């Protein structure tokens, strides 16, 4: 049987305050920062949250790790519940600064400037539900994510797909690094039966569905994209 971690030993300062929210409040008070941290109902030592004054933002979730002393944050947009900001740090002061910026409605880039551990996912904020804007936001997320990977073939595939108007107009998403498309945004995807895959040591592939029939194999990302466009259903193209 796996032994449960001793959270009080890992986070004695948090335990002394009674909750992560209370500990964050204490750290904030030292720097004369006012943030309304929310106590978690599930685990007071590991979780806390802070709401934002911006209506299209969810609460910023703050969570402690159980294997080592560290905290993660995640802040999403409300239409799809997808992350705008993420991050991990060993410094509670950094968490407080990120929480204050999120709560006060600071621009995403300004949140990162206030707390450099914050990672911007590439998605941008859409104030009102707009499928075209949410689609472009998700493309920017995939481009940002691909640019950070040590996987040039995948990066090339994302960029080639984005450069093609017939695909750029579709909502993109990835399943286990397979590039897929929908004619609607999350949470109710209308999946187009064409998938693109990049491989490190073999050609790009175009499939009829996720892990389905191979429609084409190509040596370049641009060729794969062109093949995908040829196989798009008429209603999606």
pLDDT of amino acid 1 = 43
H/E element holding 162? helix 152-163
pLDDT of amino acid 138 = 98
**Residue numbers in the chain where pLDDT is lower than 50:** 1-3
pLDDT of amino acid 6 = 87
pLDDT of amino acid 202 = 84
pLDDT of amino acid 153 = 97
pLDDT of amino acid 237 = 58
pLDDT of amino acid 5 = 73
DSSP state of 109: H
Strand order in the sheet with 83-89: 37-39, 47-50, 60-64, 71-76, 83-89, 118-120
Q: CA–CA separation, 142 vs 215, rounded Å?
A: 24
pTM: 0.92
SS3 state of residue 63: strand
The number of helix segments (H) and strand segments (E) in the chain equals 9, 11
- Max CA separation in the chain (angstroms): 63
Buried b (16+ CB within 10 A) or exposed e, 170-183: bbbbbeeeebbbbb
Q: CA–CA separation, 8 vs 19, rounded Å?
A: 11
Using alpha carbons only, what angle is made at residue 114 by residues 138 and 146, rounded to the nearest 5 degrees?
Answer: 30
Sign of CA dihedral 11, 20, 48, 93: negative
Q: CA–CA separation, 187 vs 23, rounded Å?
A: 35
Count of other CB atoms within 10 angstroms of residue 86: 16
H/E element holding 215? strand 214-218
């Amino acid at each position: 049987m796996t032994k449960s971690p001793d959270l009080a030993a890992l986070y004695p300062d948090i335990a002394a305050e009674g909750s992560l929210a209370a500990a964050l409040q204490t750290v904030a008070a030292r720097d004369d920062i006012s943030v309304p941290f929310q106590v978690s109902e599930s685990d007071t030592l590991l979780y806390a949250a802070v709401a934002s004054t911006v209506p299209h933002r969810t609460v910023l979730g703050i969570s402690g790790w159980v294997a080592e002393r560290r905290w993660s944050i995640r802040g999403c947009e409300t239409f799809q519940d997808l992350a705008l900001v993420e991050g991990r740090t060993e410094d509670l002061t950094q968490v407080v600064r990120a929480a204050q910026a999120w709560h006060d409605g600071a621009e995403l880039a300004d949140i990162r400037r206030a707390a450099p551990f914050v990672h911007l996912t590439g998605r941008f904020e859409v104030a009102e539900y707009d499928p075209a804007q949410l689609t472009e936001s998700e493309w920017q997320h995939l481009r940002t994510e691909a640019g950070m990977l040590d996987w040039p073939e995948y990066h090339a595939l994302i960029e080639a797909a984005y450069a093609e108007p017939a695909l750029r107009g579709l909502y993109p998403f990835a399943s286990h690094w397979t590039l897929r498309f929908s004619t609607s945004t999350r949470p109710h995807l209308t999946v187009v039966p064409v998938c693109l895959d990049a491989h490190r040591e073999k050609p790009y592939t175009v499939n009829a569905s996720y892990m389905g029939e191979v429609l084409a194999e190509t040596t370049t990302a641009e060729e794969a994209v062109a093949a995908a466009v040829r196989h798009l259903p008429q209603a999606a193209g």
